[in-house]
Amino acid sequence: MTNKKTFVSIMLIAVLVLSALCVLGFATQSTVAQAATNTVDIYAINDFHGEVSKMPRIAGYLAKRKSEGAIILNSGDMFQGSMESNSNFGKLLTDCMQEAGFDEMTYGNHEFDWGMDNLRNLAANSGIPFLGANIYNWSRDGGWGDFADDFADEYIIKELDNGIKVGVIGVIGDDQITSICAPLVQTIGFKDPLPIIKDLATELRNEQDCDIVVVSAHDGPQDIVDGDGGTFAQPTTTAGLEDYVDGVFCAHTHSQQRYLVTGLPFLQGESKGGFVSHMRFSVDNGNVSVQTYENIAYNSLTDVDEQVQSNVQTLIDNSNAAIEQERNQVVVTLGKTLNSSNGIPRLVCNAIAAAAQTRGYSIDLAIVNVARNSLNAGKVTYSDLYEALPFDNTVYIAKVSGKDILNELIKYSGQSMWRVSGRSISENEYYYAAIIDYLLFHQNTNRSYNYFRSAFESGFEPIPITKQGEQVYNYRLITRDFLQQQGGIVDTALYTTLNIHTDPSQLTKAVDLPIEPYKFGGNLGGNGNLGGLPTYAVVLIVVGAVLVVGIVTVVIVVVVRKRKKSARQD
């Protein structure tokens, strides 16, 4: 009897314990489910610039996050930057984005580098919304028109499985109209994004019932809120933006930024796929709070969807096969690295000066801006050259004032020139120059020419340098042709040290030029003496010749004296 009571007691205790555990388990599951239901993850990349080799891992990582309920954003400047991407006008990376499940693509300034027609075609066939809420139609005579809805959307709305609605507004910095070659964007403009963000955020909250609103901005944090151009710094104010949106994904400055200002998080993940930005929000009774805001390094992207990663790699391999031979072509062998800030610009200036001269143009100098990447010593392929000069800038012969030349080369970009004529540059005179279109046609935010205004007041219409068979004979192709004509070998000393061709401090002085195309006077200039030998070589030859003559003279004198002495003795 006692054993029976004991057994019953044990069974009752067991039932009670199991019941308690079940209740606790259900409670825990309910708590976890509630926490998951109230959480939203958003990931973004920015300024990828055609870094195709990193796309498989990034796509696989983001696709895995997408399968877990995340939202995937792109804050602009995705395509322009490599031959692998540029050769198909961004279609390859757009296909990769679609495979990864991107929810939107915000326009950056470099999306416009191939012209409006190519951009409209890319956006229309991408399967991904392209955002630009502050892009409006514009004309020189009529000013601002309507929102440019023929190729841009203002925002997207994503309703997640947990019932939370998220609105994403896409904008570009208003001053970035100056970062695009002006002739490409004469029918649109970028308005101040801040008031537009506030208006659209209000619409998303009140009319579209969005629980969370974020911004995907191709602009730096400070420039968004106060428009002063200080895009590298942490904002000192949010201009009340925290009352409208819950987070801002930034771009354009190519810096890693992680700020929390007045409770509003700002993130930027550097450039070229170096980081993926991530924000996690929670929603509790209508109140939104940010739980996580971080930049995740590329090498840390380990939990990936392997099938998507493989699919993206296949897309890349198939696309690259069509350009394999051209991109691997060696165009030059460098004895020394040419950096992007002055070495490559000097080389390019030399190339376009030679192109102008061989076409019969009598110019005084050539002018470009900095390159995107450096060129390392050793063999340089066309793909390497493409990454250093990824833009399709054409070259124009223009008649410009000495004042504009001196302002541009001494005040702003003094390392990016090649002097052909020995004329002194005077503010009050006009000169002919070969200039890339980005600089020649550059306009300020008011659409006034502000680098070479004199070119459009001189009475001489700028003439583009062209080549038969090339639809756009850009400065990269000109440079490639120049290098090939040199046999793929150049004197890097011409571009790594200041000389008579590249020293802006000598512009106001008359110098011993011009010289023949492709026959250069070396580091110190000159007229191509002795078949183009450098001046110092000429000096050494002359000195050597004098020494030889002197030695021979001494020997002759000694021999003659010995013979005379011998003759007297006889």
Per-residue pLDDT of the chain (570 residues; tens, 9 = 90+): 445 444 445 444 443 434 444 333 433 333 333 344 599 999 999 999 999 999 999 999 999 999 999 999 999 999 999 999 999 999 999 999 999 999 999 999 999 999 999 999 999 999 999 999 999 999 999 999 999 999 999 999 999 999 999 999 999 999 999 999 999 999 999 999 999 999 999 999 999 999 999 999 999 998 998 876 555 678 888 999 999 999 999 999 999 999 999 999 999 999 999 999 999 999 998 899 999 999 999 999 999 999 999 999 999 999 999 999 999 999 999 999 999 999 999 999 999 999 999 999 999 999 999 999 999 999 999 999 999 999 999 999 999 999 999 999 988 766 699 999 999 999 999 999 999 999 999 999 999 999 999 999 999 999 999 999 998 999 999 999 999 999 999 999 999 999 999 999 999 999 998 765 544 333 222 222 323 334 444 444 445 655 655 665 665 655 556 555 444 444
The pLDDT of residue 543 is: 52
Q: How far, CA to CA in Å, does 526 sit from each of 143, 221, 402, 489?
A: 52, 50, 23, 21
d(CA 52, CA 317) in angstroms, rounded, equals 10
Q: Which of 156, 171, 194, 189 is nearest to 107 (CA)?
A: 171
Tell me the angle at which helices 55-67 and 306-321 cross, rounded to the nearest 10 degrees: 150
Cβ–Cβ under 8 Å, residues 437 and 409: no
Note if the pTM is more than 0.85. no
Local structure of 49: helix, strand or coil: coil
What single-letter amino acid sits at 105? M
Burial of 199 (0-12, 13-18, 19+ CB in 10 A): middle
What single letter denotes the amino acid at residue 379?
K
Q: Which helix (H) or strand (E) holds 170?
A: strand 165-172
Geometric angle at alpha carbon 131, from 128 and 137, rounded to 5°: 130
Measured distance CA(524)–CA(119) in Å, rounded: 46
Q: Buried b vs exposed e over 474-510: b needs ≥16 C-beta within 10 Å?
A: bbbbbbbbbbeeeeeebebebbbeebbbbbbebbeee
Is-contact 435 366, C-beta < 8 A?
Answer: yes
Beta bridge partners, 278, equal: 43, 294
Collapsed DSSP state (helix, strand, coil) of residue 381: strand
CB 131 within 8 A of CB 200: no
The 3-state DSSP class for residue 262 equals: coil
Tell me what pLDDT residue 251 has. Answer: 97
Instruction: Write out the H or E segment, with its range, that includes residue 322.
Output: none
Residue 323 contacts residue 84 (beta carbons within 8 Å): yes
Read off the DSSP letter of residue 66: H
Q: Are 386 and 82 in contact (CB under 8 A)?
A: yes
What is the DSSP pairing of strand 330-334 with strand 378-381?
A: antiparallel
